[in-house]
């Protein structure tokens, strides 16, 4: 058996991160909604809800790429009232692309209460940042203000029933990276990771290196 062609420093999770909305495994509803939105984007707020590793932030970045938006990223646990004011100040200017600003807030369920309150006027007509699309991601919504939730269009990123589709995708990656012979049990791998595609690719990377 020839050695795998896998080469560092790029991880499989980075190499196979979808660059387009259509490139995601599963997520049929999310892909359909975002693809339609990408054809006619408008100022709005979205909440992507689902387990880790299914592609919530990657989907936001793919959307930004497809509509040519200028991206502003507020990382996990960094979203406080000051961060909101800072990003809104930047979004007051015309985007470099001439189109939209797209603000990604990761793990929105970790936002401070003050940040949620600051967003209430930013997400409706009271004090909106012009030409700005907000995308919040979270694993669950229990800690989020009902008033905040009411200002977002919610999309569920469910991984239910995706094990077979993920296994087929992993088999493609296995062979593309030079993994010859018998594959690992990819369906079991998907189920063990609860259909976390990122985790699957990390584990497959180890399998390729040990082949």
What is the CATH classification number for the domain harbouring 58?
Answer: 3.40.50.300
In this predicted model, what pLDDT tens digit does every residue of 45-79 receive, in sequence order? Answer: 999 999 888 899 999 999 999 999 999 999 888 89
Tell me, yes or no, if the pTM score tops 0.85: yes
| Tens of pLDDT, residues 153-192 | 999 998 787 888 889 999 999 988 888 777 888 888 888 8
Q: Are residues 82 and 51 in the same domain?
A: yes
Question: Are both 88 and 48 inside the same structural domain?
Answer: yes
Contact 25, 162 (CB under 8 A): yes
Residue 4 lies in a domain: no
Residue indicated by tokens 């989020």: 144
Cis amide prior to 84 (ω within 30 degrees): no
Segment holding 15, helix H or strand E: helix 12-15
Q: Do 121 and 198 fall into the same domain?
A: no
In a domain, 51, yes or no: yes
41: left (phi over 0), alpha (psi -120 to 50) or beta: beta
Total of domains in the chain: 2
Write the pLDDT tens digit of every residue in 29-42. Answer: 999 999 999 999 99
100 and 134 in a single domain? The answer is yes
Is a pLDDT exceeding 50 seen at residue 2? no
**Domain boundaries, position 102:** 25-156
Dihedral (CA of 169, 170, 175, 178) sign: positive
Question: Is 15 contained in some domain?
Answer: no
């Amino acid at each position: 058996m020839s050695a795998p062609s896998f080469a560092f420093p790029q991880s499989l999770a980075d190499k196979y991160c979808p660059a387009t909305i259509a490139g995601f495994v599963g997520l049929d509803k999310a892909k359909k909604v975002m693809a339609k939105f990408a054809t006619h984007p408008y100022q709005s707020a979205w909440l992507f809800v689902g387990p880790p590793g299914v592609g919530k932030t990657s989907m936001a970045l793919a959307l930004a790429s497809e509509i040519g938006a200028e991206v502003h990223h507020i990382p996990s646990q960094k979203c406080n009232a000051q961060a909101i004011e800072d990003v809104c100040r930047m979004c007051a200017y015309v985007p470099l692309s001439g189109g939209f600003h797209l603000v990604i807030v990761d793990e929105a369920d970790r936002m401070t209460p003050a940040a949620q309150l600051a967003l209430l006027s930013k997400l409706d007509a009271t004090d909106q940042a012009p030409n700005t699309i907000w995308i919040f991601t979270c694993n669950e919504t229990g800690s989020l203000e009902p008033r905040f939730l009411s200002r977002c269009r919610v999309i569920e990123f469910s991984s239910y029933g995706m094990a077979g589709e993920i296994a087929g995708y992993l088999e493609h990656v296995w062979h593309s990276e030079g993994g010859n012979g018998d594959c690992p049990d990819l369906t079991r791998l998907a189920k063990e990771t609860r259909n976390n595609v990122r985790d699957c690719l990390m584990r497959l990377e180890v399998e390729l290196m040990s082949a």
